[in-house]
Amino acid sequence: MFKRKALEALKDWKENYAPKYAALLEGARRVGKSTIADKFAKQNYRSSLLSRNYKFGHCF
């Protein structure tokens, strides 16, 4: 159910905000944020870029 709600929210973002604003997926570790972003990108775009930013160091 969460994945479906997240995908619906991303579809709303794409229709209403995508030309001016980036999407930011926040949440706890290991809950599927990257998986949801990847699935959405594959369904809605020809190509995509996934960027992972870490708040507490380990940025490479």
Here the tokens at position 12 are: 């709303």
Between 43 and 50, the more confident residue is: 43
The pTM is what?
Answer: 0.73
What is the rounded CA–CA span in Å between residue 2 and residue 28?
13
Q: Which class for 6: exposed (0-12), middle (13-18), buried (19 or more C-beta within 10 A)?
A: buried
Tell me phi and psi for residue 43, to 5 degrees. Answer: -80, -25
The string of pLDDT tens digits covering residues 2-48 is: 678 999 999 999 999 998 998 888 888 888 888 999 999 999 999 98
